[in-house]
Amino acid sequence: MASTTMRLHSNSTAVTKSVSRRSSISGFISYRSSSLFIRTSLIKDRSLKHNLNLRRSSAFSVKCVSDIEVKQKVKDQELQQEATTSPSSFAPDTTSIVSSIKYHAEFTPLFSPEKFELPQAFIATAQSVRDALIINWNATYDYYEKLNVKQAYYLSMEFLQGRALLNAIGNLELTGPYAEALSQLSYKLEDVAHQEPDAALGNGGLGRLASCFLDSLATLNYPAWGYGLRYKYGLFKQRITKDGQEEVAEDWLEMGNPWEIIRNDISYPVKFYGKVVSGSDGKKHWVGGEDIKAVAHDVPIPGYKTRSTINLRLWSTKAASEEFDLNAFNSGRHTEASEALANAEKICYILYPGDESIEGKTLRLKQQYTLCSASLQDIIARFERRSGTSVNWEDFPEKVAVQMNDTHPTLCIPELMRILIDIKGLSWKDAWNITQRTVAYTNHTVLPEALEKWSMDLMEKLLPRHVEIIEMIDEELIRTIIAEYGTADSDVLDKKLKEMRILENVVLPAEFADMLVKTKEAADISSEEVQISKEEGGEEEEEEEEEKGGGEKDNDGNEDEVEKAIAEKDGTNKSSIKDKKKELPEPVPVPPKLVRMANLCVVGGHAVNGVAEIHSEIVKDDVFNAFYKLWPEKFQNKTNGVTPRRWIRFCNPDLSKIITQWIGTEDWVLNTEKLAELRKFADDEDLQTQWREAKRNNKVKVAAFLKERTGYSVSPDSMFDIQVKRIHEYKRQLLNIFGIVYRYKKMKEMSAAERKENFVPRVCIFGGKAFATYVQAKRIVKFITDVGATVNHDPEIGDLLKVIFVPDYNVSVAEMLIPASELSQHISTAGMEASGTSNMKFAMNGCLQIGTLDGANVEIREEVGADNFFLFGAKAHEIVGLRKERAEGKFVPDPRFEEVKKFVRSGVFGSYNYDELIGSLEGNEGFGRADYFLVAKDFPSYLECQEEVDEAYRDQKKWTRMSILNTAGSSKFSSDRTIHEYAREIWNIEPVKLE
């Protein structure tokens, strides 16, 4: 496919004839560079057609250039010259922006033309901005094609982008001109931006990290693309009712997505089911089954202060038109007629569909394979096109880096093998070598349930060819394990195979099984010889004992006398005893055959990384210890980061201005290490005054937002204490709310004067979604809202304590809450959180943190200073011992913890029965009990740490200093730093900058 067919165009860049018409509104747009002149004459007439006259230089039709031709003929100087003649970044004045918005309202509407209200203003404005992104996207794409550089491809099931308008115009440095243009159209930029729904393409930190990475890749000029799925209904929209969380479908696409470009010319076949047959050529062929098409939707991702604009390619799914059974439909069998179409489309309906049923599991596996198959086909097509007439597959890893964001894209490994072997004709050895050099894996969890395991039976049914390939990879691994550990110690070898194999509960292939049987037989024979030797040496002693009349033995193995004695005792006879002995024991359940996706990732890739220093050590020492001992060179750490553009510069403009003023430059947005310069001003009273004013302004905004969203009024003079993240037992929202309940109970036991003396006023804010089928997490949401309903209506307490659950927490809500936060809670059980990224955002915005030594908390505390972090709780290395202590019944809960449980059970927070919730924190063993996440253990330490928080907050000068030092110490946690490390140490890619 020629590069020109890959361009993204909108209606506003179509070349049409210029026709003069009478109009009531006209405008003019002019964009210039050394090689580009775009002039748009906009003439609006409600009764006549309108036009856009645009001339674009033809200098950017780029022919495919093979790698060899580039190396031989293209000089760096020539390439640089061509880069400087590419289109410049979009830099219009206010008048041209107004005209562009009017044009889109007239010519590319997604709504009726009779009115121009806020929703329509947003869409027209976004389409106007998209024009600029397309210009830079084309220039970026053409430059990558011409250079044929190595490119990274980031595959993720989630991309939690948030709203795009303010981020895009901020990166393009057009915030001022767009604000002025919309003002001329009688709108405020902020009001227009609020019309944009959050893209429902993710749920938590996994997706937010992926979006931060794309921002940094574009900003740092790295050649890279993202690949994901275009979910029509997202995860779900969360509503909070009297019954707790309620889930409804997201509606983010109902008004259309003005940022995406539908690429109907780019689609790939994806197959499910069918069977594998061997052809006459000796190749395997996957035939029959169900065929769908994955269609590309492109979303341009702009960098900050750079022309580089990369791409997020999202796949939607559909069936071919011929799959619609017209005869069945005309016969009235409407559901049957469209069954194939519905089966294809539903693949991209929901993020993480419930997998309690076999249908849900099947759908999830279809999603993962669709992402992998479509993306790899696209990557390979681009590689072949860039290679020109001579494709050298050995060069594939030198041009392509594939990063699997967690285990969801694991099927990339067998899919790449399938394409290379079955379609491209490579040998197993060559394909395996290429695959391992191309693919890398990021691990995001130590939780066993998150290390995906798929039913082998399901996978054999849905992806038969891939199971064959996985079995062969498993055999390769077995050979490696045997070569490493030998066969002398069969117990060690057996343990390693059970621990490391990709296939769980699957018998060894015959050649290996026979080998192990022989090894064990030899070991048994050796053991028997030793025993015989011992017995022969002891015969004389036994004879001596018999002569002395001691140690009677029944050496003939006859059980008759024993059976007779038993029969006499219980009244049974000998024959009945034998009948009972013949009864078969209860059958032992056959464990299911499973495919361990994480093990496949480790085996099939060349790099495995954790996402925080402590997490990466746990990965090496525990999660994948056997693999680490085998391949230590594969394992790395890449501490997560967040983009300082979205998470300080754009979401917290008041603080950003203060930082720039005191540092003396805005370079910190790109070079966050400059934030450290704030340290020398931390005690300056003028800075502290400005800092507090900025924080309070943000709190006032949040107070208004909470009133609108929840109906509760809060005081901006209270401490804003925030915990926002996915609702999960290991994240311990339960510890937080139990602490609040204890606080409330103590308040109720005091006089008004005592309450005011002993407690700092707090607004405790929660946000996050509980997965729809995670019952215990949904109970936690219900409990938080019940506590809030009681506390917030208690006139004795007033503004001393408020408890707010913000419904439908997303990126846009985070962008409001985080700048206003003063204390944030990152209180997961030590060793359970891989990294966390919200903790980094809070630190950047001058928020103090209370937390355990878990995930990135460890590094944040090191960077901001131990005195500026409120630490509590057990350490990661203590957790196993503490759980053992609990199992042995040795743990004694703190009286304050028992007091809280009793208070909750008294019914003070309503009639809901919380026995199941509280019961999870009781007992010493059993599923859903025994306080696996150690809430009770850490509760006393948590309460004492909260007392330290209150004491520190009373001294506002001290608190402000600590806040400034948190921002000053957050420079390490920029995703720019993380991406540089990935590029240098895993992907081996270099920046490619368009000047």
Active site residues: 444, 725-726, 731, 837, 841
351 in Cβ contact with 157 (< 8 Å): yes
Of the candidates 818, 838, 862, the residue with the CA atom closest to the CA atom of residue 699: 818
Whole-angstrom distance, CA of residue 455 vs CA of residue 504: 10
Of the candidates 147, 123, 224, 46, the residue with the CA atom closest to the CA atom of residue 986: 224
Q: What are phi and psi of 711, to 5 degrees?
A: 90, -5
Which strand ranges, in their side-by-side order, compose the sheet holding 309-318? 261-272, 290-302, 309-318, 224-229, 151-155, 400-405, 439-442, 608-610, 635-637
Q: What are phi and psi of 587, to 5 degrees?
A: -65, 140
Q: How close are the terminal C-alpha atoms of the chain, in Å?
A: 27
Any idea what the Cα angle at residue 479 is, between residues 476 and 484, rounded to 5°?
125
| Cα-only R_g, the chain | 33
54 in Cβ contact with 39 (< 8 Å): yes
Whole-angstrom distance, CA of residue 538 vs CA of residue 604: 55
Of the candidates 111, 99, 116, 92, the residue with the CA atom closest to the CA atom of residue 44: 99
Determine the residue type at 521: E
Q: What are the E-state strand segments in 273-383?
A: 275-278, 284-287, 290-302, 309-318
Q: In the chain, helix, strand, coil percent, each to 5?
A: 55, 15, 35
Whole-angstrom distance, CA of residue 126 vs CA of residue 839: 31
Cβ neighbors of 698 (< 8 A, separation 6 or more) are 652, 654, 655, 816, 819, 820
Partners of 310 in beta bridges: 301
Locate 33 and state its tokens: 């560079």
Locate 293 and state its tokens: 């098409």
Type and span of the H or E element at 916: helix 915-919
Locate 22 and state its tokens: 């009478």
Q: How many helices (H) and strands (E) does the chain have?
A: 39, 24
Buried b (16+ CB within 10 A) or exposed e, 279-305: eeeeebebeeebbbbbbbbbbbbbbbb
CA 648 to centroid of chain Cα atoms = 21
Which long-range contacts does 489-495 make (Cβ < 8 Å, 24+ apart)? 490/516, 490/519, 490/520, 490/523, 493/519
**CA dist 926 → 670, 776, 828, 922 (Å):** 51, 15, 21, 10
Whole-angstrom distance, CA of residue 611 vs CA of residue 981: 12
491 in Cβ contact with 498 (< 8 Å): no
Locate 39 and state its tokens: 């002039």
496 in Cβ contact with 599 (< 8 Å): no
**CA dist 776 → 248, 361, 401, 625 (Å):** 19, 21, 40, 31
